[in-house]
A and B are shown apart, each in its own frame.
Chain A
Amino acid sequence: MDLSEFSDTFFEEADELLVEIESHLLDIDPDDPDPEQLNAIFRAAHSIKGGAGTFGFTVLQETTHVLENLLDDARKGNLSLNSRIVDQFLEAKDMLKDQLDAYRNGTAPDQEAFEALCQALQRIAEENRAGADAAPAPAAAEPPAQESAAGAGFELFDGASADADDGTPRLQVRLREVGEADRTLIIEELGNLGEILDSGGDEACFDIQLATEESPDNLEAVLCFVIDAEQLEITPLGGGEDEATAAQEASAPAEPEPEPEPEPAPAEPEAAAEVAGSESSEPAGEAGESPAESAAPEQPAAQDTPVAEEPKPAAPPQAAAPKEAAKAPAKPAAAPKAGKAGAPETSSIRVAVDKVDQVINLVGELIITQSMLNETVNGLEGVVNSDLLNGINLLQRNARDLQDAVMSIRMLPMDYVFSRFPRLVRDLAGKLGKEINLVTEGESTELDKGLTERIIDPLTHLVRNSLDHGLESPEARARAGKPREGKLVLSAQHQGGNILIEVRDDGAGLNREKILEKARANGIPMSDNPSDDEVWQLIFAPGFSTAEQVSDLSGRGVGMDVVKRNIQSMGGHVEIMSKQGQGTTTRIVLPLTLAILDGMLIKVAGEIYILPVSSIIESLQLRSEHLSSLPGNVQMLKVRGEYYPVISVYDAMGLRGLASETDEGGRGTAVMVQAGNIKYVMLVDELLGQQQVVVKNLEANYRRIPGVSAATILGDGNVALILDMPDLYRLGQEARVRRGGPSDAARAPSASTEEAEQA
C-alpha cells in the first residue's frame, strides 16, 4: 500500500495536535497540573508518535517517544512539573514542528537539534529519577490507591530504575490460545523488535522472554495484527520478576480496577470490537483449551470477567512500573476525554479549499440565475401564475439559505488566529522582562478562512508592537501607579457585515509630541494643529518606520505601513485610539467575506453601480439650499448641524453628458458614506434598492479601474461595477482640482452610454 497519499493527512493532523499540545502547555499550572490536560498532551504526543512510526519518520517518532515518556511520568505524578520543564516541553513542541515541516518538505530533520533536545529531556528525566530515588516523595502525589499497595509500589519503582540502568528492559510475553503457526510468526516478529532470551510453553500458555527497547504498548500494537489483544499478556521482568508480578496482582489497583475501564491506548477501540467478535467465535473453536486457560495462575481476573474490554497487561510495562499502577486512577479521567477527542474527527471531514470555493462559485451563479428568474417572473400576471410565483419565491428562499450555509463552510473561528498568541506573548514577555496578562475575547467569532490566514501577520505585528513599545516594564508601571502586570487584550466581534479585531493594551500610549517631531523630521506634511486621529495616522506613513529608533516611540511605526497595506488589500482599514499613559487600541475592521457583498444599487448617468451597504450611513434628500461652497470647488452639505464634503460620482468617475443629479428645483438624492475615517456625501441620480451581489474580480481578465473595487453580474445578466468608497473620494478631490480646466472635456472618457446602448 502506498502510504504517501495519507501522509498529507498525517501532517495536517499532526499540526493540529501540536497546536493542541502548545495550548495545553501554555495553559497548564506547573504547581498544580490538571490531570486532564496532562492526559490530553500525552495523547496528542502519542498520536503523533503513532503516525510518525507508520510513515517511517523515525526522528519524529523518537522525539515524541522521549517526550511522551516524560509526559507519562508527569501525568502519573512521578514528575513534578516546574516552569523550566514546561519551557523545555514547549521547545520540544517547536522542534517537533520543525521536524514535521522537514518531513513534509522531504528533507531530513535537524539531527543535532534532535540530539540536543533529547539530551535535555533525558536530563529532566534523570534529575527527576534521582530526586525520586532520594526521597520517594512523588508517592505523595500519586493517588491513594497506589499507597495501599505501597510495598509493591516501591518494589516496582526499584525495578524500573534497574531496567533503566542495564539499558535493555526485559519483558515477558505470554501468549494464550495461540496456534503453532501464529506462534512462529510472533516469535519472528518479536525477534525483530528485540532479543529473545527464552521461550517455551504450549498452545494454551506460551511464554517468551524478550530484551527490548520497545514499550509493551508498542509490542502489543504489533502483535495485535496477528492475535487478539486478550490473548496477549506482557509483563516487564524487572529486578523482582515474579515477586513483582505477584505483588502487583495482589495489589488492588493494578488488577481488578483497570478491568472495566476503557484503555486510553489508541488501538483500543478496534481491540474492543475484535474482542467482542472473538468472544463468540473463539471458544467454539478452542473449547478444549478453556480449562487449561482458566488454570493459568496469573490471570484470574481476566478469566473471571469476560468483559468486552481488554484487561490491561497484568504488570506494568518497562521502566514505568509505578506509572502503570497509577494509571488506574488516571484512567477514568482519560476515558471520557478520549471519547470526546475522537468525536470531532468522526463528525468532520477534510475538504480541499478549492472544492469549497468551487461550490461557493456555483452558488454565486445560482443566485444570479435565481434573481434573473425573479425579474422575468415579476412581469407576469399574479393570479394565473400563482403556482409559478410561489415556486420562485420558494426558490429564492432556498437559494439564500443555501448561500448562507455554503458561506459558513469557509468560516473559521478567530480562535484559530488567537490561539497562537499566548505563546508569542509568553516568549516575548520573558525576553523583555515584562509581566503581561493576555486576554482574548470573542474567540468564537467567525471569519472567512481566506481572511483568517491573512490577518495573522498584521495582528502579530500589532501584538509585538504593543508588547515591545506599548506596555511598560513592571517597575515603570509601578511608578506610574498601575498594576505591575500589563494587560493585553485581543478581541473580535461582529458589527454589521464587518468584523472588528482589536489589540488593546493598558500601556503608555502613543506619544503625540514625539510622533509629530518625527513626522517633521521626515518631512511629512501636516496641518498646523492636527487632531489626534491625524497624528496617529502618521505612524502608518511608509518610511516613518524605517527611521532610527527613538526611545519609547521607536518601532511603533515599524512596518505599520505594511500592516495598513495588508489590511487594505483585504478590503478593511485600521483605526488607532490612544491615550497617553492609559494605553492604545488598534482596531482592524474587515468585511466578513470577500465573495458576497450586500450592495445598494444606484443609478448614475444611466448606468447601475453598486455601493457596499456596509459603507452607507444614510441616504438623504438633497436640497440645494443646504449646500454651501468653499473656495476651490469644494462643496459642503449641512446635515444636522454638521458639514460634510460632497463628492459627485459624475466628477469622480469622469461621467459627462447626462448629468442630472439634481433636478430643476435643485433637489437630488445623496448618500452619506463612510470611507475609512472619512465621512462624505455622495451625489447620485437614483437609489434603486438593495441586493446581495456576488463579487467578481475585474483583474481576472482586465485590470484595476480607478474608483472601482470589483464588478458583479445583475439579475438581467448585465455587469455592474462596485464602487470603491475611499478611492472615489480621492478621485472626487482630484476632479475638483481639474474642474473648470480646459483639459476637462478632453479627459471625459468612454462613458458614452448612448453608444453602448445601441445594441
Chain B
Amino acid sequence: MNTAAVLQDEFSGIPGENGQYLTFILADEEYGIEILRVQEIRGWSRVTPLPNSPTYLKGVINLRGTIVPILDLRERFAMESLEYSSTTVVIVVRVEHEDEQRVMGLVVDGVSEVYTLGKDQCQDPPEFGGSLDQRFVKSLASVDEKMIIVLDVDAFLTAELQRSLD
C-alpha cells in the first residue's frame, strides 16, 4: 500500500480500512472502538435506574438535556462486575440503527490509547464462544504483540432494540 493511499484512508476514516481507534481496558484486556464514534469521555455519575430492564443496563443520565442510557460493558459481557470508583469511565458513543443515530454510554474500567490500525493489522474474528457475544466483535487487531478486540458499537444498540419487551 503506498503512502498516499494510507493517508487517504486515514482521513476518510473508513471502518475496517486504516482508521483511528480508542482503546479501553476491561478486566485487563484491551478493547477498541472507532474514534469517530466517540462523542465524549466522562466520569461515572449517578444514574436513574430503569426498572424491568437487564442488570447490565445501569440506567439513564441527563446529558445536557438528552436522556442517554448507560451500559456496563463488564456486565454486558457477563464478566465479574467491579465496584465503581473515581477512575471508572463512561465512554459516550454515537451508535446507529437503521439510519437513526442515537447516543449511549459504555461503562469501562479505564481508557487506554489511541491507535491507528491498518487493515493488515486486523483479522476477522474466528468463532470463539465464551461469554463474549460474537455479534459485538468486529475484528481482532494486533499492536506490538498485544491483541485488541475491536468492538462493533452499533451491535449494542441493535441487541437492545431486538430484546423483546416482556
Contacts and interface: CB of A to CB of B under 8 A. Distances in A.
A655 B51 contact: yes
A718 B68 CA distance: 12
A719 B54 contact: no
A693 to B, nearest CB: 12
Contacts of B130: none
A365 interface: yes
B48 A705 contact: no
A759 B102 contact: no
A759 B44 contact: yes
Interface string A348-376: 00000000000000000100100000000
A749 interface: yes
Contact of A698 (B45, B55, B60): B60
Given A701-B67, A718-B62, A752 B49 contact: yes
A704 interface: yes
A224 to B, nearest CB: 53
B79 interface: no
Interface stretch (A213-221, A460-468, A707-715): A707-715
A57 to B, nearest CB: 36
Contacts of A755: 58, 84
A696 interface: yes
Interface in B65-85: 65-69, 83-84
A81 to B, nearest CB: 55
Contacts of A1: none
B53 A750 contact: yes
B46 A757 contact: yes
Interface size bucket, A side?
Answer: 35 or more
A465 B62 CA distance: 46
A758 B51 CA distance: 18
Interface size bucket, B side?
Answer: 20 to 34
A700 interface: yes
Interface in B110-147: none
B103 to A, nearest CB: 5
B149 to A, nearest CB: 25
Interface string A585-627: 0000000000000000000000100000000000000000000
B50 interface: yes
Interface string A728-759: 00010000000000000000011111011111
A260 interface: no
Nearest to A713: B62
Nearest to A757: B46
A752 B53 CA distance: 11
A702 B66 CA distance: 11
Contacts of B5: none
A706 interface: yes
A701 B69 contact: yes
Contact of A721 (B50, B57, B68, B84): B50
A149 interface: no
B65 A365 contact: yes
A516 interface: no
Contacts of B60: 698, 702, 711, 719
B52 A719 contact: no
B68 to A, nearest CB: 5
B104 interface: yes
Nearest to B52: A706
B154 to A, nearest CB: 14
A756 B49 CA distance: 7
B28 interface: no
B54 A702 contact: no
A708 B44 contact: no
Contacts of B56: 750
A749 B62 contact: no
B160 interface: yes
B47 interface: yes
Interface of A: 365, 368, 607, 653-655, 696-698, 700-708, 711, 713, 717-721, 731, 749-753, 755-759
12 contacts: A653-B51, A701-B102, A701-B104, A705-B51, A705-B52, A713-B65, A718-B48, A719-B59, A719-B67, A721-B48, A752-B49, A756-B47
Given A698-B60, A750-B53, 8 more contacts: A607-B48, A655-B51, A700-B67, A705-B53, A706-B52, A719-B67, A731-B52, A749-B55
